Amino acid sequence: MVTAVHAGALAAALFATGSAIAHDYTVESNGVFSPPNATVKSTALTYDQALVPAGSQIRVYQHTATNKTTTVELWVTGVKPNHLFGVHVHQKACGTKPADAGKHYQNTPGMDAAHVNNKNEVWLDFKSDAAGKGHASATHTWAFRKGQASSLVIHSEPGTKGARAACFSVPFGGAS
């Protein structure tokens, strides 16, 4: 108990003086897609089983360095073979309806072409191979704002026009 108080006081003192050491942030999440009405709840939801069948798998890795450089990587297996998918980080967690994930996460919020693009958003568009596997990676010079990036949505086509085929809730974050 005393150690926790001292450690808390030390941490508060370090943060107050600006002498605290910043840390990288890394998260790796894995999921198996299931329909929103499945008996066993999942953080990976499929809304279009022709594109992302129940049982398809997803892995997402995010690393943000202390300089705020952020890399997000995506791996999927079991999706529709030889298909072009659009994938973006979204603001909210997945829900029973595709729209529950909210809008695309943007480093600088806006609705025009200067804001809706792969430099201001995380786009992980990919083409699955003949076995239904896919991979994509994106790197940016900015970090996610705390609590404002909560899922990865797989769209039926690349770019910004595809329907939401699946969603995976991920605790994205930034360096401290």
pLDDT of residue 114: 81
pLDDT at 161: 82
Predicted confidence (pLDDT) at residue 62 exceeds the cutoff of 60: yes
d(CA 99, CA 172): 19
Any idea what DSSP says for residue 101?
G
Is residue 175 very low, low, confident or very high in pLDDT (cuts 50, 70, 90)? low
Residues 6-47 pLDDT 10s: 333 333 433 444 445 468 999 999 999 999 999 988 999 999
Q: Evaluate whether 139 touches 28 at the Cβ level (below 8 Å).
A: no
% residues pLDDT > 70 (the chain): 86
Average pLDDT, the chain: 88
User: Which has the higher per-residue pLDDT, 161 or 68?
Assistant: 68
Sign (positive/negative) of CA torsion 19, 20, 22, 23?
positive
Helix or strand holding residue 13 (H, E): helix 2-17
- Tell me what pLDDT residue 159 has: 87
The tens digit of pLDDT for each residue in 1-15 reads: 222 223 333 334 334
Residue 123 · residue 51 · CB < 8 Å? no
Q: Tell me what pLDDT residue 107 has.
A: 94
Average pLDDT over residues 51-66: 97
Q: What is the pLDDT of residue 176?
A: 57
Once rounded to an integer, what is the mean pLDDT over residues 77-102?
98
Domain boundaries 23-169, CATH class: mainly beta
